[in-house]
Every structure is written in structure tokens, then in C-alpha cells.
A and B are shown apart, each in its own frame.
With several copies, the nearest count.
Chain A
Amino acid sequence: MYSSDEMMAVEAARRLDDGMVCFVGIGLPSTAANLARHTHAPGCVLVYESGTIGAKPTELPLSIGDGELAETADAVVSVPEMFAYWLQGGRIDVGFLGAAQIDRHGNLNSTVIGEYDRPKVRLPGGGGAPEIATEVKDVFVMLRQTPRAFVDRLDFTTSRGDNVRVVITDLGILEPVDGELTLVQVHPGTSVADAREATGWELRVADDVKTTDPPTEEELVALRSLQTKGS
């Protein structure tokens, strides 16, 4: 048995190659990148926006500022340098993003639910997302698929979807086809109908939807051995 979070982390990790430079936040992205590093991509380079480049945590950090990230990093730089020389410098291959809302074009909202000036829910805000979305080569989005998250219209566009290459959800995998996110894969035990139901727009579905390979024993062992701290 494995959780949907574990399925998501494993699917994200499978998409990271050895030597890729990844800009990761806390949570599933950090879990996925570290899993890749401990399995098939030991040379995967983890960059945290806190300024740590090439961090090699043995446990999953709870904050992007955890001391172990600095201790194990190849280099620690200031935050202005991180965004100017490294992110804007075009040195990052993959950037992970999450959000409260996503639309069919991969645009994301992590700013507000409701009107900006009369918010129903004030969310934390964009942080690094607006420039991660435009300055990295490939954006990987990870979020749970529900009608409230997968919406026809965003309440606020925090970041653009132009560089989104894949959306990894608890139900399956979406990839842009002619600029619209399309269901290309469902996780074991999930049907295309489930994915449609969980989407707030008329979901495009590929002709040949594949079923995700479940996590291997090796993947689960590596993943769980990481989660002593972060879980």
C-alpha cells in the first residue's frame, strides 16, 4: 500500500534526470527531488530559494531554511543573488510549483480566493512563483485534483502557465497539448471519469490514456526512509 502523496512524489521523481538542476520548494517537490537524488538521479542538483545550491539533505526539510540545507550545500548565496544570478541567470532546468487554483492553460493562483480587495481567503501570495514560472526551462506543477482547485477561471493569476510541462495530481498526469492541459495518465485505481469529475472545466483527455506504474518497492523504501523528519 502507498498514499496518493507517495504516488505523486514518485511520479515527479521519475521525471527528474541525473544532473538536472531543480528549483524546489518545501513539501512534495522537495520530497520528489530528494527521492530522485536517492534513487536514479544521484547527481540531481537541488536549489532552494533560501540560497542553498546543491543541498543534499539526509532528511526532508520542514522549511526551505533548515540548517541542514546550508550545511550540505555546495554553495550558499544571498537571496538577491539567488534570484538574479541563478534563477534569472537561466541556470535552472526544472522549477516546481503548487497553487490553490490552476486553469486549463497551467496559469496558477496562490494569491487570493475571491476579489483581491474583498478576499474570501487571503492566501500566502506568489513568493518566488511568478519568476520561477517564466525563468526556468520546465515547470512541474504538483497539486491535488479537485473542482475547487482545477477551475474554469482563476480568481487571480499569480503566475503564467507558458512553461508548464506537466501537472502531477493525486489522480493522474496532465500535459499541455496545443496549449491546453490534457489528461495523459491516470494513477492505479483512478478512472478517467474520476479525473473529469475532479476538474472544473471540460477536461481534455488523450486518446490513449496510460495507467501509471505503481511505486516500486525500491521507490517506496527510499521515499519512506527520507520521511522521518519531513512527514
Chain B
Amino acid sequence: MLTSLREAVEDLVRDGDTVALEGFTHLIPGAAGHELIRQERHGLTLIRMTPDIVYDQLIGMGCARKLVFSWGGNPGVGSLHRLRDAVEHGRPAPLELEEHSHAGMAAAYQAGASNLPFGVLRGYRSNDLVARTRVAPIQCPFTGEELAAVPALRPDVGIIHAQRADRRGNVQLWGILGVQKETVLASARSIVTVEEIVDELDPRPGAIVLPSWTVDAVALAPGGAHPSYAHGYYERDNDFYVAWDEISRDRDRFQQWMQRHVLDTADVEEYRASVARSTVAAV
């Protein structure tokens, strides 16, 4: 149950797996993404509603073969240059895209968590996405209305970051919840990184709890959401999102940065220290 992030990834993530590292602007599992890179996972189908920096890093390092997504960018800043390089020039490898809308992907996660083969929404109305995504018309047997059916998302591995877990592995998160519960419940295997491990999960407003028996591995990773934030623990590193635009624009600079801060660091603590040093240096 409680394990190290390294062991969790070793045990639960295989080359070629379909992996969802979810987090909707909050609690983004960056440390887990870095561990996938350190362990050189390849041929992954990456799923995420809002792929941002950590997905840019996974794609730029050649871990992914396919991306299932609905919005891929650097929020408030602009493009993801490594994602664009893969899609526009096939570097470092071609990237297959399965593109959805947020509403479609949310319904697909919900269907997966509900153990249903498809979700239903009023969406994908005569736009060009219909031809580029996995959606099928479905008719209401009572009213005849035609709606959109989306195939359930059932990742091999669901990975999320949460604020806390207790020693039995019950997980607690609060603030913006995104699709994290659905990601864990829809996945065959799941990994949760947490800011801290406590004796008792005292109830908190707005918090949800994932019982230990719904999760395969819980690993301590303080600061593991960087550059995103963990509500109640630390703020979003807005400067880093801006800086990433520069770092990721040039392929070599990206490589050097990843070498220095991810490949040459053993875990999230070393990563945080290494990034902190270079930030200080930059100032």
C-alpha cells in the first residue's frame, strides 16, 4: 500500500500502457511524471483532459506514442513546444492524437468509473471534432433525440496527486477536485502521490476520500505537484509556467534542462532542490 514512488512506478507501469496522470490545474502529478521519465517508460498512451508542462516533458523525452486529450497548452502562457514539435515535425517521435472536448472526456471518465462501456452527452454538435475523435450518435429510446455517445476511458494506470493519506492508505484531497476520483475508479491500477502521510484523516470542508482499497499504491512526494499547487500546502509556481515557454522552445535547452533537473535527480526532493538552485542563480 504505502511505498516509494520509484517502486510504485516499477511495479505498476509498463511500457505500452495507457496511463492517465490527471489533475485539473490543481494537484498535477508532476513528480510521478518525472519518475516515468527516469524509468524510461516508452510507447505510452497518455490520457489527460488538460496536458500541460509534465506532459510536454513526457512527450519531449519520447515516452509517449499517443495522446488522448481535450486541451493541450501552457495555461495563461501559450503553446507546449515539445507537444507541438512532436505533432508538427514528429520529433522526437510522431505522436498520435485522439482529441475530445472537455465535456466528452469528462463523460468518458465518468462512464469508466461507472463500469459502463460508454457515456452520453449533448455534444459534438456538427463541428469538425466529430471526424477526429471517438464519438457515435445514440438515440434516446423515449424521445428520439439524438445525442453523442463516447467510449468509456479505462486506463491501465491512473495516477493522481493528493494532499494527504493515512497510514492505511486512505487518500484525502480537497480544493479543486477535477476528475481525480473518476481517474482512480476508472483505472485498472492506480498510484497516488501525497504531500504528507498522517495518522488520522480529520474531516475537512470540501474534501473527498478515496478508500485505501480503491488504490494500489500510495507514495509520499512532498511538493510533487510542482509547478502546479497543492491547496493548503503551497502556491502555484506561476513564474515557472512562464519560464517553461523559454526552456521548452529549444530542443537542446529542453534536453539539458531535463537531464539536469529530472534525469540527474533521484526523486522529488532532489528535483525541487535542483530547480530552486537554478531559480536563485537566474535571479
Chains A and B touch each other in the complex, with CB atoms below 8 Å apart: yes
Whether the pair A88, B114 counts as a contact (CB closer than 8 A) is yes
Q: How far is the CA of A229 from the CA of B182 in the complex (A)?
A: 32
Let me know if B211 and A125 touch, CB within 8 A: no
Q: Could you tell me the distance between the alpha carbons of A218 and B124 in the complex, rounded to whole angstroms? A: 42
When distances are taken between beta carbons in the complex, the residues of chain B under 8 Å from A89 are 113-115, 185
A83 to B83 Cα, complex, angstroms: 26
Check A51–B24 contact: CB distance below 8 A. yes
Does A50 interact with chain B (Cβ within 8 Å)? Answer: yes
Residues of chain A within 8 A of B214, CB atoms compared = 91
A45 close to chain B: CB less than 8 A: yes
- Cα A158 to Cα B127 in complex, Å, equals 6
Q: Does A157 contact B (CB under 8 A)?
A: yes
Question: In the bound complex, do residue B182 and residue A80 qualify as a contact, i.e. CB atoms below 8 Å apart?
Answer: yes
Does the CB pair B126–A160 fall under 8 Å? yes
Contacts of B84 in A (CB 8 A): 121-122
Q: Does A167 touch B at the CB level, under 8 Å?
A: no
Chain A facing B: main interface SS: loop
The bracket for how many chain B residues form the interface is 35 or more
Query: How far does the Cβ of A65 sit from chain B's closest Cβ, in whole Å?
Result: 2
- Shortest A122–chain B CB gap in Å is 4
Contacts of A134 in B (CB 8 A): 122-123, 125
A3 CB to nearest chain B CB (Å): 18
Among A31-39, A66-74, A138-146, A178-186, the one that faces the other chain is A66-74
Chain B residues near A85 (CB-CB < 8 A): 113-114, 181-182, 185
Can you report 11 residue pairs joining A to B where beta carbons are below 8 Å apart? Answer: A50-B178, A51-B178, A69-B176, A70-B26, A80-B107, A84-B113, A84-B116, A122-B84, A126-B99, A130-B123, A131-B103
Taking A63-B25, A78-B178, A134-B122 as given, write out 18 further A-B residue pairs in contact, using a Cβ cutoff of 8 Å, ordered by the A residue number.
A49-B102, A50-B24, A50-B26, A65-B176, A75-B208, A78-B179, A84-B103, A88-B103, A88-B114, A90-B115, A121-B84, A122-B84, A125-B70, A126-B70, A126-B129, A128-B102, A131-B121, A158-B127
